[in-house]
Chain A
């Protein structure tokens, strides 16, 4: 079991759909992350939020729109995706760097997204 909960576990969407992925943690972590993982590849960082503010955007296309409404929740809004965006989307959280320098990231089990 993981302390980072992601919903839904699976999602199939068309290229014209709008959908959202959700992530929740109750460990008091103030840093939250989105990663993307293609099949048989390592996870790749997309976004980092620190104290509910976006601190890192790894040049992710605008069809992916992150949102951090409060310290426990992280959303990823999806719009006009392409089939090549099909992947496992992972959420993670950790203590913020200024609070604890070496805090490990704790990952959820991801949302497996298929774009048709």
Chain B
């Protein structure tokens, strides 16, 4: 699976959009980009995923560049409850690599009042 690079930490003001970047320059054509977050003392929470097109759900939007080498997770109106570690994960296809979800170090997002 392709490796991802994320900033170690970011800050965001409450009510503003939080834009979390992720680089995955070695991504291959059949690999998906997933975003999870983990609030302290809880399990990772699935946010969104995509292959090529931009995606939006009730939690966030995922913008994937045309060359697929990077992506951005957007939380449109951040709240204090969005403070968490955010993981960008590239997951392969196939029965073996596709069955693995390998976490990197993630980005600690702190939403400030």
Contact = CB atoms under 8 A, between A and B. Distances in A.
A48 B43 CA distance: 17
A46 to B, nearest CB: 11
A102 B49 contact: yes
Interface residues of B, number: 25
A54 to B, nearest CB: 11
Nearest to B93: A101
B95 A55 contact: yes
A97 B97 CA distance: 10
Interface in B74-113: 87, 91, 93-96, 98-106
Contact of B95 (A2, A92, A98, A105): A98
Given A55-B95, A97-B95, A98-B95, A43 B100 contact: no
Interface residues of A, number: 25
A106 interface: yes
Nearest to B42: A109
A56 B100 contact: yes
A4 B101 CA distance: 17
Contacts of B43: 2, 4, 90, 92, 107-110
A55 B101 CA distance: 14
Interface of B: 32, 34, 41-46, 49, 51, 87, 91, 93-96, 98-106
Interface of A: 2, 4, 31, 33, 42-45, 48, 50, 55-56, 90, 92, 97-98, 101-102, 104-110
